[in-house]
Amino acid sequence: MTAYESGFTDGEHQAFKDRRNHIRRTRPELPLQTAYLSGWWDGYTPRSLTWLLHKDPQPYWADRESEIA
């Protein structure tokens, strides 16, 4: 499995977990540095318009900030 495929799979799994918890993250605007991160965000990106519009997006760094606090 390539790094992109591994990232895609992990992104999909995280998307389903976040959907259950009513969280939607925004993709970072900066260019993604690794194939894993590109795959992760491609796997995470909503494919359903109803999910995309379900909740306001949360910044991609918000989880890490709440872990520190």
* Tens-digit pLDDT profile for residues 6-51: 999 999 999 888 888 877 788 888 887 899 998 999 888 877 666 5
Asked whether 45 and 13 are in contact (CB, 8 A), the reply is no
Asked whether 8 and 41 are in contact (CB, 8 A), the reply is no
Scanning the structure block, which residue is given the tokens 């900066």? 30
Residue 25: domain span: 3-68
Residues 6+ apart with CB under 8 A from 1: 9
Total domain count, the chain: 1
Please give the model's pTM, rounded to 2 decimal places. 0.64
Q: How far is CA 42 from CA 6, 15, 39, 51, in A?
A: 11, 10, 5, 15
